[in-house]
Structure 1
Amino acid sequence: MFCHVEPEQVICIHDVSSIYRVPLLLEDQGIVDYFCHRLNLPIEMRPRKMLTKWKEMSDRSDRLLEQTSIALVGKYTKLSDSYASVIKALEHSALAINYKLEVKYIDSADLEPAALQEEPVKYHEAWQKLCSADGVLVPGGFGVRGTEGKIQAINWARRQKKPFLGVCLGMQLAVCEFARNVLGWADSNSTEFDPETKHPVVIEMPEHNPGQMGGTMRLGKRRTLFKSTSSVLRKLYGDAEYVDERHRHRFEVNPELKHHFEDKGFRFVGQDLEGERMEIIELEDHPYFVGVQYHPEFTSRPIKPSPPYFGLLLAASGKLQNYLQKGCRLSPRDTYSDRSGSSSPDSEISEIKFPSLS
């Protein structure tokens, strides 16, 4: 009455059980019809069909019974928003297999031997969290603090055959861990942390000039070619020959040392177009040990989870081998219906028809 807002323009967004219910709440109140009328948008397609799978996903999120846990080993764990895109990618994957997600946040510094002397309670609590998790994720980051703790977590996941995913720095540290404990190069490191190491398994990109401020990172969408037809990650990507994913890094695996790793079953199954940059690693004789130089969480979407994260959740829940044996198909219980006619609402946006204005 006093702010010149029509009653039909008032939309009630009350508390709901999950954020995925908000679009359904808005659509139920006719917000799309109102916008079409108010903005004179003669759209021929209504979102109800588009939101069919979205509603199924929202319903599923409210009645999940089984649970799987992922240990997120990082250095910014006191503020979970630091890993917001990572957490969402895990959620998307957990929902896709009908599992409730529990994230165990572990400060990587608490896993280091020094923590046992300084703060033994935190040390033992961190290791208890790690050992009780169904899978391990080491995300990206910068700086030397906590890196040795991440390497400890990677070493434990490799030896205990625990599903592992390393993203960006997580992949680089997996290379360092393998070089130290399998190849026997005890001082192996990234030149980011030890410029004088005799075994620089991770190095600065050739075009990176550390003395120049700005524009020193490899950013944006880049193409990665699969070099192996037996790659687990390739199968998870739908047996694709290549993938386009977003990057954000200054350091890379030293390509000159590649053959030392592959001789021991540590495979570089994905490389850039020139074959100079190592983009994807996989470890033979392991349920799921994968590292990617890019950031797959940036392209993860509800109903369309990121394949590397999806593989981690499948492995953590004990479903990966069955999924691969079935030709990368979920069981009927886990599959969303096809009544909406597409794999995700994203793909149907392009189908919205606007009549010609001419």
Structure 2
Amino acid sequence: MYRRRSSRREAVVEARGGLDPRRLFKAYYSLSPPVEEPRDIAYREFAFQLFDGDVYVRHIGFDSMEELLSYMAREAPKNAYYSVARYSLPTARSMEEKGWLGSELMFDIDVDSLEGCGEVLGDSCLSRGYKQAVRLVEALYRDFGVPSTLYFTGNRGFHVLADCGWCRRLGREERREIARYFTLEGLRLELIIPRPGRRGVRPAPPSPDDPGLRGWIARAALERGVDLSAVHEAIEDLLDDVRVAIDVKVTQDISRLARIVGSLNGKAGLLVARLGLEGFHPGDWLSPFRGEVEFRASARLEESRILGRTVSLEPGRVYSMPAHIAVLLQLKGYGAVAGGEVVVRAAAGWRPL
């Protein structure tokens, strides 16, 4: 199926006559990759989507990281998840039996929801999504006093997870209200930035030092070069800059599943990676796959910047390209790897910040 190199940190998968993605995932998980242990692992529910019939297996529990890694090496899941909730009995089949002990706050940003971002995994759209995720992390700390962690989901999105004593016990409605704060749903702008009164009384303009949304609107104005005394003239653009495109349903769900950091996303073959706030530059470091392969295109792809490379496809043509690009395009349905070898690396040059 694949051959392991002497370093035991690499394996080679041959692609003659086609490439089965499960072989790649099996090779990766057999190399003891840098999968990150979820906190309080014994209290988490785990779920996996397998390659065989796209079956989902849920209500699984592990007492140790060794057990989790052994399972992933054996089953080579297409997608791997753990619960943001902690349970007293995570393997129980019903929520009542599980015994809910609290949940982290989870926020999901999918770049598909951003204007002009379609199915192709374009670097510019990922950069826009990352910028929104960073603002979310900063606002959680500045406005709520809650530290959080930012992750790339391995496909087209970002997750932000916040964990604190008081937020673990929040119910669905409280979580929804926090989500609405970031999406600006139900915003009454006149209460935050009043318009000038009838008698010429001019309210104080917003300042970047102001708390809450008022401060964020002022920051957005300064970034756009808008005079703070004239924010009403550009308010729609400023609100677009302040609004974060999170999925409210994800945040309010106390039993949501998060992707395991260091696992592979079956929709793109990329790593689920922890990120810092210093910047995000999509590239081959997000993939454990190396080498040059032949790729037979079955669909047209307009010129796009993908993982730091410019790519375009015409149906029926065969292209020589880096393995990490070819695997992504195959999983996206643009064709199939038709020849060559894929080198699978455990660390993959992965550089979480």
With the length of structure 1 as denominator, give the TM-score of the two structures.
Answer: 0.27
Higher relative contact order (CA 8 A, sep 6+): 2
Which structure has more strand as a fraction of its residues? 2
